[in-house]
Amino acid sequence: MLNSKRLWTTTILLGIAFDILFWDKTPGISFAIFVTLILISGIRVLAEDGIRPNKRSLWLLLPIGFFATMTFIRAEPLTTFLNYSLTLVFLAFFAISFLGGRWLDYSLSDYVAGQFRLMGSALGGGLSFINKTRKEREHSEEYRQNGEEREAKKFVPIVRGLLIALPVVAIFAGLLSSADLVFAERMDAFVELFRLEKLPEYIFRGIYILILSYILVGVLLYAARNSQDEKLIGEEKPVLTPFLGFTEASIVLCSVLLLFAAFVAVQFQYFFGGQVNINIEGYTYAEYARRGFGELVTVAIFSLLLFLGLSSITRRADERKKKIFSALGITLVLLVLVMLASAFQRLTLYETVYGFSRLRTYPHIFMIWLGALLITVVALEIRQRQRAFAPAMAFAIIGFAATLSLLNVDSFIVRQNMARSAGGGELDFAYLASLSNDAIPALADAMDDPSVSNVTREAASASLICHWYQNEYRFKETRPWQSFHLSHWQASKIYTAINPLDGYTVSSDDWQRHVTSPSGIRFDCSDRFTWD
């Protein structure tokens, strides 16, 4: 039986910590601190009742720690979203597999069902725990006879002590406030907390602290009682009994294979054949690259889902049919890989012609990990370990999100576009100015890079100036320690070092801001630069 007082005390303290870290503050290092507090407090409170996590579950602490840390290191929007989301997802996986540790054996059904069971426990587990605790106390003879009297004896001295202490503390506080003006200001701020007009705010904060505490109790109860993983979905018998005939499934796969083979043949003839073959058909290389990579990625994803779906519902009575079906599926995946390579090449060409952006960098990285997942699917099909697809997909998602964080997307875009500009390409400096604080160190480096042209260096400087004015209010605001963000801190440090930039003038008209460089080039912060 879990210790009720210890469990509720721990979760209420976590709720208070949440209020201190997040109330009226921009998220920063606070999220990583709160995740750390949840893990340490949760593991400890359960360990005190003899409940310890499975060693295999502890491996989940690695992605949790990585993504939680990256929330206050990277500021690029998609990277930030994935870091927050995956931290919460893997925290849930840790709770689901706390005792059993079989998260690597989960199927997709286990992951989904486990999430729903955990949510059910978060919503109803605390209430059932309260009822169970109350019933156990009511059955205790000692509690019924002596409980109220014992509680009263504990409570009366506390009240008496507070009544004596209050006037004594008030007298000393008045004297100390008269002795020190700074202390007097702090005391005034403390007294300000108890103003009646703030009562609704305190009530609201108290309510969400209790709600958060209640949810955490349900999560910890699930980890302590229902995370043994004794039986996994579909481990003994399949969730869905195969009902589709082998012939029907083979026809579907063969039909798709013929279509994909025809498409791949065109790719080899025209796209992989080079620019001359494309021009024969009346297309420029850039026009051919502009279209299709999004559609090809979609085809790859749906093809994977088609194969996995048919694999689950197709009857394969003998070994011969199993081998034929696997051969068809593997051929399908191999053709999809060729199509994915075509999509990757299209995107690379598009980036070469038009430069890098977030919406071009995301699929660039995504296709690499999708390709790795497709190769893994082939290996799993050969070894007849289709159940391992779910953890393989989880690792692919981890790889994609971790790559975005480690690459530093906005900084990567700046470096690539600066290198492209050095080779004669046009530089969209206004787009660089619209990126997050992650881009500032790379822009500052480009501003002093002697290997690029003077125009490119001035464009980098103009990007920094435009970025500053677009985000000026954020850099001037005073941030509490809970809102510390490494990317914001680095950007502020760089702006302090380079501000003002000699020779650059800033002007505004019709809500548009312009930056004029020392050589006389005028840069419009909302558009590409123009020559005067």
Per the domain annotation, does 232 fall within a domain? no
Q: How many domains does the chain have?
A: 3
pLDDT-derived band at 475, boundaries 50, 70, 90: confident
Could you tell me if 387 and 430 lie in one domain?
no
pLDDT surpasses 70 at 14: yes
Q: How large is the average pLDDT for residues 49-70?
A: 94
Q: What is the pLDDT of residues 329-375, one digit of tens each?
A: 888 888 888 888 877 877 787 777 778 888 888 888 988 998 899 88
Could you tell me if 504 and 419 lie in one domain?
yes
Per the domain annotation, does 214 fall within a domain? yes
Could you tell me if 473 and 513 lie in one domain?
yes
Higher pLDDT, 411 or 185: 411
75 closest CA partner among 485, 500, 463: 485
Boundary-marking domain end, from 350, 370, 405:
405
Q: What is the pLDDT of residues 375-431, one digit of tens each?
A: 888 888 777 777 788 889 999 999 999 999 999 999 999 999 888 887 777 788 888
Could you tell me if 381 and 480 lie in one domain?
no
Could you tell me if 64 and 150 lie in one domain?
yes
Helix H segments across 383-505?
A: 389-407, 409-422, 429-433, 440-447, 454-470, 472-476, 486-498
Three-class SS state of 354: helix
Q: Which of 82-96, 350-364, 478-492 has the lowest average pLDDT?
A: 350-364
219 closest CA partner among 309, 111, 93, 403: 93
**CB burial of residue 91 (10 Å; 0-12, 13-18, 19+):** buried
446 near 502, Cβ under 8 Å? Answer: no
Could you tell me if 82 and 192 lie in one domain?
yes
Across all residues in the chain, what is the average pLDDT?
Answer: 82
Could you tell me if 143 and 211 lie in one domain?
yes
Per the domain annotation, does 23 fall within a domain? yes
pLDDT-derived band at 72, boundaries 50, 70, 90: very high
**Distance in angstroms (rounded) separating the CA atoms of residues 401 and 395:** 10
Phi/psi at 505 (5° precision): -120, 145
Per the domain annotation, does 429 fall within a domain? yes
Could you tell me if 158 and 256 lie in one domain?
no
Per the domain annotation, does 529 fall within a domain? no
Q: What is the pLDDT of residues 97-140, one digit of tens each?
A: 999 888 888 888 888 888 899 999 898 888 887 777 766 666 65
pLDDT surpasses 80 at 188: no
Per the domain annotation, does 238 fall within a domain? no
Boundary-marking domain end, from 380, 405, 430:
405
pLDDT surpasses 80 at 505: yes
Q: Could you tell me what percent of the chain has a pLDDT over 70?
A: 85
Structure tokens at 91: 């925290």
**Distance in angstroms (rounded) separating the CA atoms of residues 352 and 350:** 5
329 closest CA partner among 261, 395, 256: 256
Could you tell me if 16 and 96 lie in one domain?
yes
Q: What is the pLDDT of residues 142-173, one digit of tens each?
A: 555 555 555 555 666 777 777 777 777 777 77
Give residue for tokens 């360990």.
47
Domain that holds residue 399: 246-405
Neighbours of 132 (CB within 10 A): 13
pLDDT surpasses 50 at 277: no
Could you tell me if 215 and 341 lie in one domain?
no
Per the domain annotation, does 95 fall within a domain? yes
Could you tell me if 158 and 252 lie in one domain?
no
pLDDT surpasses 80 at 438: yes
Boundary-marking domain end, from 225, 258, 278:
225
Could you tell me if 178 and 67 lie in one domain?
yes
Give residue for tokens 């302090």.
496
420 near 452, Cβ under 8 Å? Answer: no
pLDDT score of 530:
40
Per the domain annotation, does 241 fall within a domain? no
Structure tokens at 77: 């929007």
**Distance in angstroms (rounded) separating the CA atoms of residues 15 and 326:** 52
pLDDT score of 531:
36
